[in-house]
Amino acid sequence: MNKSSIDTLIEKNPKLESFRSKFEVMIPGNYCLHRSWGFGKIVDYIEPDDRLIIDFEEGKKGHAMAPAFCADKLDVLPENDVLVLSRTNPERIEELVKKKPCDLIALILENADCQSMMASEIERVLARLPLLGVIKHKKWWTATKKLLAKDPRIGVPLKKTDFYILRDDPVNPEEEVLEQFHATKNSKEKINLAEKLYKLSENISVIKEELPDILNALTDAIKNTKTLTQANRLHGVWVRNNLARDLHEDVETLEPSSRSILEATVDFSELASDLPVIYFGRYLDLIKRVFPDRYSTMSEDLLKHSSGKFTTECINFMLEEEMEERVNFCLDRWLSDQTIKGPLLFWVVKNRASKKYQSLIAPLISTKLLSAMFYAIDNEALQNASARRIPLADLLSDDRNLIPDLLDGTNVEIATDLAQTLLLNQGFEDLTKKSLMARFIKLYPSIQSLLSAEATVRSEEKSDVLVVSQKSFDLAKSEYEELINVKIPDNKEAIATAREHGDLKENSEYKMARQDQDLLLARKNELEVNLSTAKVTDFSDAGKDSIGMGNVVTLKEGSTGKTRKYSILGAWDSDPENDILSYKTPLAQGIIGKKVNDTVTTSINGNEEKWTILTIERWLDLK
């Protein structure tokens, strides 16, 4: 655009004055970046039509745009912008990408507002570089971030929401981290900064004079801060020891020591779950060193309660300690008594094709493994009050070969039992159950009948509406909530405690707890069905012409001539001692719809009795 066209445009719309400098660089040959259309090049400006003609690399070529309407969405890029140079001088950008990655990031920051950008903004620029688009910019960026931490020109953010900054004056990164280390009062952050300092200081002489103060500050944080967990303390000790070794000190004499922290630990599995991943191997080695007489049994317990990468670390550790036979025994035993936990089952299934672990996993691929998976998923669903996904359930759903692999060679009876278990499992949504059942049915067509039977039951449940009073509904709901929030969780704890007592075959506490679990789950399912089909009434629509719910009736017993007075109320209101009958009882069913002076004959437990209806009143009128 030339000066006259810009003046004319602003004269028509004075609000565009703030965009004058941007209009002045909207000239053919310049590169630009549009919020929606992406990277492009201005190829022409047609003054009579007041239109920029832009070739967008990711969109339309020769696209016409009115400057007034794109001024706030289109940025014209300077000649030294990385994206521009990647088109005008690709050899230079290629050299920076391959040999000088920090220089490339410095160049990106140089053209940014305030010479600072968030990591996400830098990634968006990198994604538009043709060369990096081929060699995967995310992988390149991950490697480059490690180099940036040591580049004195660039300030690296401590948090994801902070900015990468191109400094006016280069600062030694060790000095910057050291300043942050002394400034923070947060013990956990102090440990993380000390670890960062250790990783930065390939040449420890840069901070050697400061080391005594660093070690004292770390030791004080580990000793005296109550907010640190045992895992935080152990992590801090290891970081301190890494730094102390460079002073040639005997780190075992420093207190607290890794040994003293471990000896004061109660829950070793909980400690492991809080440790940074890179320390898993060091943790297992420490346990062996501190507890040489019982580290093998401790490693079994750690494996049983492990998850994620720690599971792999435990397995590898035990294999290195020539405990393969013991691992095999434990996995088989935990499967048999269904004490194997979801994360360990997840590891077994994910690694079933691994050559390294073939001797461990191959013997487990059976219906026993599938049964254990169903139990673990159902158990987690019972304990999971939130809508959080269950990883093992997702894995079973996503891996279409898993169920066929586990059912391979089994008979139809066992497959049917497992399919029935699946239908009752609370860890799957209905659509997922149907998808998983289809895999059963493909192998065993007769299992289709289970789905038909379930559909019939569900249909009957929906059609069998129960009319109940508000009071009885509230009581049932309270009972259900107590089951979910108190009794079932307490029972789970009782089962877990009983399991710790040894052999389950001879464990009466475990058997009793499991029997209680069956009763609790059965009652829970019953209440769920009842509450879902209940219809609350206040009996206000009861009349006096004929007997129905909400009536109080006086009956004359034919055999004795005695009169009895009964209230006919909701399905859950029966209280025979107080002469209250549910409308579902045989006597109530026999007299509903009858009028005064009608005579009815009922048969209860094989005994016939004639009744004459003397009066019909409204229950609400007599309250």
Q: For residue range 533-582, what is the model confidence (pLDDT) as tens digits?
A: 888 988 888 888 889 899 999 999 888 889 999 999 999 998 888 899 99
Selection from 286, 280, 226 nearest residue 251 by Cα? 286
DSSP notation for 470-503: HHHHHHHHHHHHHIIIIIHHHHHHHHHHHHTTS-
443 and 515 Cβ atoms separated by less than 8 Å? no
Q: What is the mean pLDDT of residues 169-192?
A: 83
At 424-457, the pLDDT tens digits run 888 888 888 888 999 999 999 988 877 765 554 4
Q: What is the mean pLDDT of residues 485-493?
A: 83
E strand segments, 341-475: 466-469
Q: Which of 221-235, 451-465, 553-567, 580-594 is predicted with the least confidence, judged by mean pLDDT?
A: 451-465
Indicate the average pLDDT of the chain.
86
Q: What is the mean pLDDT of residues 50-75?
A: 88
Q: What is the mean pLDDT of residues 510-515?
A: 77
Give long-range contacts, CB 8 A cutoff, 24+ apart: 345-349: 345/369, 345/372, 345/373, 345/376, 345/392, 346/307, 346/391, 346/392, 346/395, 347/311, 347/312, 347/315, 349/373, 349/392, 349/395, 349/396, 349/399, 349/402
149 and 101 Cβ atoms separated by less than 8 Å? no
Q: What is the mean pLDDT of residues 320-330?
A: 94
Look at residue 38 and tell me whether its pLDDT is greater than 50. Answer: yes
User: Which residues, 6 or more positions from 23, have their beta carbon under 8 angstroms from its beta carbon?
Assistant: 1, 6, 9, 16, 67, 71
Look at residue 44 and tell me whether its pLDDT is greater than 90. Answer: yes
The whole-number pLDDT of residue 321 equals 94
**Tokens representing 149?**
């931490």
The whole-number pLDDT of residue 387 equals 59
pLDDT band with cut points at 50, 70 and 90 for residue 589: confident
The whole-number pLDDT of residue 319 equals 95
Q: Which residues pair with 39 in a beta bridge?
A: 33
Look at residue 487 and tell me whether its pLDDT is greater than 70. Answer: yes
Alpha carbon distance, N-terminus to C-terminus of the chain: 90
Percent over 70 (pLDDT), the chain? 93
The whole-number pLDDT of residue 247 equals 66
Centre a 10 Å sphere on the Cβ of residue 376 and count the other Cβ atoms it contains.
23
pLDDT band with cut points at 50, 70 and 90 for residue 212: confident
Q: How far apart are CA 65 and CA 76, in angstroms?
A: 14
Centre a 10 Å sphere on the Cβ of residue 434 and count the other Cβ atoms it contains.
13
pLDDT band with cut points at 50, 70 and 90 for residue 180: confident
Q: What is the mean pLDDT of residues 162-185?
A: 83
**Amino acid at site 511:** K
pLDDT band with cut points at 50, 70 and 90 for residue 69: confident
- Torsion angle in degrees (nearest 10) through CA of 382, 387, 390, 394: 130
* DSSP H/E element including 519: helix 508-533
Q: Which residues pair with 65 in a beta bridge?
A: 52
The whole-number pLDDT of residue 502 equals 55
Q: How far apart are CA 550 and CA 469, in angstroms?
A: 10
Cα-trace Rg, the chain: 38
Look at residue 458 and tell me whether its pLDDT is greater than 60. Answer: no
**Amino acid at site 366:** S
The whole-number pLDDT of residue 460 equals 42
The whole-number pLDDT of residue 205 equals 59
Q: What is the mean pLDDT of residues 467-492?
A: 88
Residue ranges of domains in the chain, CATH in brackets: 3-76 (2.30.30), 82-171 (1.10.10), 187-264 (no CATH), 266-355 (no CATH), 365-449 (no CATH), 464-537 (1.10.287.180), 551-622 (3.10.50.30)
At 114-160, the pLDDT tens digits run 899 999 899 888 888 887 765 577 889 889 998 888 888 888 887 77
Selection from 568, 575, 581 nearest residue 618 by Cα? 568
Record the pTM: 0.57
The whole-number pLDDT of residue 297 equals 94
